[in-house]
């Protein structure tokens, strides 16, 4: 967003180095142009000046037009004409350029939508990626694919067939014996002599063993399910990661349960061992008692209720502390910092809030500033441009009691900063003031403005000034 100026800039005969003229796609219309105004047309790459009634191209007329390759004509002045030259297989007509009929010079035709044929029902179609379609009588009867496949409505072969790959057949009727040297793939079941109650069934990633019409063992790529009782006469070793006992009653003969028992057990592998009660609090929050090996302690996920008085040598609480009674302590330290009764510049403690008047002085070192007190060091004033007189000057009384102020003015409609003449004086620009500022616009802005005035009273004055 450009900075708006409402007073002329006098460079006092100093150079304006490396300026860039305003770039526009067309002549500016708002505000109305004045004589001497400039702009650079980015479409025609020309510099233009307004003469009081029209925009004039400063660069002048075109010096020449040169015909490039494949064209004739051109000129250096006035209206010029460029003509397209014909070539092998190309005819340049008065109003168009066309491909010559009965073409004999074209050696290659490549197009992603190419179709060659007698009509739409009888053609060779190249428009589909990686395949050629032979269409006869409106049907895609033969299709050649990049994979080497030939797809046909029907195929009548009078000789032998030698298939090195896979033959995918919907139905096979074999009268004699079958000799299979490789893999036998079965889509459904193996049935013993027509007895469908005793079979081995094959599904998608599933194998089922059925006796007496009931699936006794079902094996998938994820699980194996036994539908009746399983008796293990020896020891049971599970090498997986999880054992789920979905039973109403779990009876364990041993009175002690050992966790982390393995050939490689250690304190590091024991870390996180414990008990988890799933969904103990709500539908998605578990309650846990877990061992923290690094700190040699148990960690409870939820509260522990201990009736009566509990005695701790040390108590380290990482979360919140809720004390319903009185907290009495000989000393208070928060995160390693000691807290004192009265805060200072070197100690943390209680503070008193400064008033707006104390904030404006900028010198109090014993009180804290609130947002309201900080706001008291600034004044905002709205300027109604319709109320400006011929002098285009406004005065604002801020009563901040200092000339050490920062003043900024912006357009309330566009919210762009505007540049104007600002003085810490009364409206005649001659009498210094610590409570009034004067603003001279020179030219009235198009929209109402807002002035922002901020006090720097009490600011450090120890800055060093050097004159070179």
CA distance 402 to 127: 82
Higher pLDDT, 94 or 321: 321
Is it the case that residue 22 has pLDDT exceeding 70? yes
Is it the case that residue 340 has pLDDT exceeding 60? yes
Answer whether the bond into residue 31 is a cis peptide, omega within 30°: yes
The pLDDT value given to residue 448 = 95
The pLDDT value given to residue 50 = 94
The pLDDT value given to residue 395 = 94
E strands within 171-284? 189-192, 195-203, 206-211, 214-220, 224-226, 274-282
Question: Is residue 210 a contact partner of residue 201, using CB atoms and an 8 Å limit?
Answer: yes
Is it the case that residue 26 has pLDDT exceeding 80? yes
The pLDDT value given to residue 383 = 96
Selection from 39-43, 357-361, 365-369 with the highest mean pLDDT: 39-43
DSSP for residue 21: P
The pLDDT value given to residue 370 = 77
Higher pLDDT, 289 or 362: 289
CA distance 5 to 418: 6
Is it the case that residue 1 has pLDDT exceeding 60? no
**Mean pLDDT, to the nearest integer, of 300-314?**
76
pLDDT tens digits for range 196-221? 788 888 877 788 888 887 888 888 88
Is it the case that residue 74 has pLDDT exceeding 60? yes
CA distance 444 to 4: 12
Is it the case that residue 29 has pLDDT exceeding 70? yes
**Mean pLDDT, to the nearest integer, of 349-370?**
73
Given the structure tokens 């003085």, which residue do they identify?
423
pLDDT tens digits for range 153-184? 776 667 677 777 676 766 656 566 667 776 77
* Phi, psi dihedrals of residue 172, rounded to the nearest 5°: -130, 130
pLDDT tens digits for range 439-468? 988 888 899 999 999 998 888 777 788 898
pLDDT tens digits for range 100-155? 777 777 777 788 888 888 888 888 888 888 888 888 888 877 888 888 788 877 76
Higher pLDDT, 324 or 384: 384
Please state, rounded to an integer, the average pLDDT across all residues of the chain.
81
The pLDDT value given to residue 425 = 92
The pLDDT value given to residue 413 = 94
The pLDDT value given to residue 443 = 83
Is it the case that residue 2 has pLDDT exceeding 70? no
Query: Confidence band (pLDDT; 50, 70, 90) for 437?
Result: very high
β-pair partners for 418:
4
Query: Confidence band (pLDDT; 50, 70, 90) for 75?
Result: confident
- Count Cβ neighbours within 10 Å for each residue of 109-133 and write b for 16 or more, e otherwise: eeeeeeeeeeeeeeeebbeeeebeb
Nearest to 44 by CA among 32, 57, 30: 57
C-alpha pair distances (Å), 219 with each of 185, 190, 212: 17, 15, 18
The pLDDT value given to residue 240 = 77
- Among residues of the chain, what percentage have pLDDT more than 90? 17
Query: Confidence band (pLDDT; 50, 70, 90) for 37?
Result: very high
Query: Confidence band (pLDDT; 50, 70, 90) for 432?
Result: very high
Give CA angle at 172 (167, 178), nearest 5°: 85
The pLDDT value given to residue 391 = 86
Give CA angle at 206 (200, 208), nearest 5°: 30
């Amino acid at each position: 967003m450009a900075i708006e100026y409402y007073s002329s800039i006098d460079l006092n005969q100093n150079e304006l180095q490396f300026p860039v003229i305003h770039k526009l796609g067309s002549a500016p219309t708002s505000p109305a142009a004045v004589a001497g105004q400039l702009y650079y047309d980015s479409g025609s790459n020309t510099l233009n000046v307004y003469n009081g009634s029209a925009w004039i191209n400063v660069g002048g007329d075109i010096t020449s037009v040169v015909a490039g390759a494949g064209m004739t004509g051109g000129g250096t002045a006035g209206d010029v004409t460029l003509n397209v030259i014909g070539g092998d297989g190309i005819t340049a007509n008065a109003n168009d350029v066309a491909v010559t009929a009965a073409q004999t010079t074209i050696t290659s035709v490549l197009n992603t939508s190419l179709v060659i044929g007698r009509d739409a029902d009888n053609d060779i179609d190249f428009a589909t990626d990686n395949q050629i379609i032979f269409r006869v009588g409106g049907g895609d009867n033969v299709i050649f694919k990049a994979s080497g496949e030939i797809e046909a409505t029907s195929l009548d072969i009078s000789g032998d067939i030698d298939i090195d790959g896979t033959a995918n057949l919907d139905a096979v009727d074999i009268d004699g014996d079958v000799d299979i040297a490789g893999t036998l793939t079965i889509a459904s079941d193996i049935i013993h002599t027509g007895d469908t109650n005793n079979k081995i069934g094959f599904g998608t990633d599933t194998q089922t063993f059925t006796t007496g019409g009931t699936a006794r063992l079902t094996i998938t790529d994820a699980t194996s399910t036994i539908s009746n009782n399983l008796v293990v006469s020896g020891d049971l070793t599970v090498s997986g990661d999880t054992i789920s006992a979905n039973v109403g009653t779990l009876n364990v003969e041993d009175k002690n349960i050992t966790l982390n028992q393995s050939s490689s057990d250690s304190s590091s592998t024991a870390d996180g061992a414990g008990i988890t009660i799933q969904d103990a609090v709500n539908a998605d929050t578990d309650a846990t008692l877990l061992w923290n090996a690094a700190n040699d302690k148990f960690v409870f996920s939820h509260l522990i209720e201990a009736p009566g008085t509990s005695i701790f040598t040390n108590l380290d609480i990482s979360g919140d502390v809720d004390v319903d009674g009185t907290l009495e302590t000989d000393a208070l330290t928060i995160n390693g910092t000691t807290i004192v009764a009265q805060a200072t510049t070197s100690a943390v403690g209680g503070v008193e809030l400064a008033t707006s008047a104390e904030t404006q002085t900028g010198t109090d070192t014993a009180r804290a500033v609130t947002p309201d007190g900080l706001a008291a060091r600034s004044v905002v004033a709205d300027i109604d441009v319709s109320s400006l007189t011929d002098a285009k000057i406004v005065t604002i009384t801020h009563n901040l009691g200092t000339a050490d102020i920062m003043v900024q003015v912006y357009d309330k409609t566009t919210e762009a900063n505007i540049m104007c003449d600002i003085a810490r004086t009364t409206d005649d620009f001659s009498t210094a003031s610590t409570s009034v500022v004067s603003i001279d616009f020179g030219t009235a802005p198009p929209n109402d403005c807002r002035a922002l005035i901020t006090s720097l009273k009490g600011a450090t004055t120890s800055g060093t000034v050097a004159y070179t």
